Amino acid sequence: MTANRSSAPALAVVGATGAVGSTLLQILPTRADVWGDIRLIASQRSAGRRLAVRGEEAEVLALTEDAFDGLGPGDVVLFLTPAEVSARWAPVATARGAVVVDQSAAFRQDPEVPLVVPEVNGYAARIRPRGIVAGPDCVTAAMIAAVGALHAGFSLVELTVSSYQAAGAAGRAGSQALRRQLSLVAGTALGEAPGDVRRAVGEDTGPFAAPLALNVVPWSGDLREDGWSSHELAVRAETRRILDLASLKVSVTCVQVPVVTGHSLTVRARFEQRVDARTAREVLEAAPGVVLVDDPAAGEFPTPADAAGTDPAWVGRLRGSLDDRYALEFFVCADNLRKGAALNAAQIAELIVGELA
Ligand SMILES: NC(=O)c1ccc[n+]([C@@H]2O[C@H](COP(=O)([O-])OP(=O)(O)OC[C@H]3O[C@@H](n4cnc5c(N)ncnc54)[C@H](OP(=O)(O)O)[C@@H]3O)[C@@H](O)[C@H]2O)c1
């Protein structure tokens, strides 16, 4: 545990050693100083490790019932863990009276668990019958502040999205697999003959269905019999929930690209009202969590390399659709570990603490 500031609410971070957990520990000192004790928890493998948080070293505890001792009403427990770990252990934390913020897929479709992006539907975090609030998937999170602001302005009726997803969305295993593959293909004359990249990378493609170095993989998640992937359906369902548009038409294609951190998406959004790029620009310029960077002639446009390590969703290439006066097209990039996970979780936790204070 870190410095005892016992009068303020405690924050426990389960999964503190993972890709999202490490990002959260970097973010915490940059956020409002609302927390008392900060407790770090991970698997038995990491027990005893020492990590820096808020400028001090803290020992990582193993995830056991005892790890929640002393936590209670007013405290918040973040789960930045695989879904099966969140599903098993979040109820243990809520049984102690703490509120859980879960960043996994475990509760995102549970009607008794609000799915929250503070810039869009922060109010929803107040009603949490199970004592749990969920954050969305990192693809949903990358676009939803921009889409939500446009929906508030023009009333969304249809959304078509393609993702260009970073390897880091698959956790440490994903970014390590891409780095390993890149080192295997680096400096070789590849891509000239069929099978070159596959031969260099070998059988072990990590969490991806094919080599990701010098390549793209045309789905993420599990493929179903009807051809849609679990990830595509999740983004569709989450978008509907967060915007409270149960029958919104949504079509998503998830594609993995050889980027370590930073998701990019192309978005086509169709509205009830006529839209033009100029008015849409004004809406996005005022939208919380969104930065419009859209002057390609001056070298101003978003890329995942520029979005990595930053908090907002960066929007560019904003155009009115050529054949439809009710539709807009744009490109958006966001850091999958920050707005896609750790930052969103921190923002929800701060909302809850503000409400309980
Ligand atoms: N990466 C992203 O961009 C992203 C974005 C949005 C949401 N998410 C979601 O956020 C969660 C964490 O993702 P991640 O990318 O940080 O994964 P990760 O890098 O694999 O880290 C997983 C974390 O969970 C801990 N953990 C694993 N099994 C455990 C167990 N049995 N008991 C206790 N702790 C356990 C790990 O501890 P050890 O180090 O001790 O193994 C580690 O701290 C996942 O549900 C993921 O889907 C990730």
> What is the percent of the chain with per-residue pLDDT over 70, rounded to a whole number?
96
Question: Which residue in the list 151, 231, 254, 263 is annotated as catalytic?
Answer: 263
CATH classification number, 11-135+341-356, choose in 3.10.129.10, 3.40.50.720, 3.40.50.2300, 3.40.50.300: 3.40.50.720
**pLDDT at position 168:** 95
202 vs 193 pLDDT, higher one: 202
Is the pLDDT confidence value at 186 over 90? no
What phi and psi, each to the nearest 5 degrees, are found at residue 261?
Answer: -135, 135
Q: Of the residues 13, 17, 20, which should be mutated to test ligand 1's pocket, given the most ligand atoms within 8 Å of the CB?
A: 20
- b/e per residue 278-317 (b: at least 16 CB within 10 A): ebbbebbeebebbbbbbeeeeeebbebeebbebebbbbbe
Mean pLDDT to the nearest integer, 118-143: 98
Residue 196 has a pLDDT of 85
Mean pLDDT of 19-29: 96
Q: Which fold has domain 140-336?
A: Dihydrodipicolinate Reductase; domain 2 (3.30.360)
**Best mutation site among 26, 40, 43, 132 for ligand 1 pocket (most ligand atoms within 8 Å of CB):** 43
Q: Which of these ranges, 158-162, 195-199, 329-333, has the smallest mean pLDDT?
A: 195-199
Q: What is the mean pLDDT of the chain?
A: 95
C-beta separation of 90 from 80 below 8 A: no
List the residue whose alpha carbon is closest to atom 41 of ligand 1. Answer: 43
Helix (H, G, I), strand (E, B) or coil at 152: helix
Average pLDDT, stretch 322-331? 98
Give yes or no for residue 175 having a pLDDT over 80: yes
Mean pLDDT of 124-135: 98
Query: Residue 311: what pLDDT?
Result: 97
Mean pLDDT of 136-149: 98
Mean pLDDT score, 190-200: 79
Is the predicted pLDDT of residue 192 greater than 80, yes or no?
A: no
pLDDT confidence tier of residue 224, bands split at 50, 70 and 90: very high
Q: Which pLDDT band holds residue 195 (cuts at 50, 70, 90)?
A: confident
- Give the pLDDT of residue 193: 75
Delimit the domains of the chain by residue range: 11-135+341-356, 140-336
Q: Is 151 a catalytic residue?
A: no
pLDDT tier, 2 (very low <50, low <70, confident <90, very high otherwise): very low
Give the pLDDT band of residue 187 (cuts 50, 70, 90): low
Q: What is the mean pLDDT of residues 184-188?
A: 78
The answer to whether the CB of 285 falls within 8 A of the CB of 313 is: no
Whole-number Å distance between alpha carbons of 333 and 355: 31
Give yes or no: 138 in active site: yes
Site residues for ligand 1, CB cut-off 6 Å: 15-21, 42-43, 45-46, 63, 80-83, 85, 103-104, 137-138, 168-169, 171-172, 336-337, 340-341
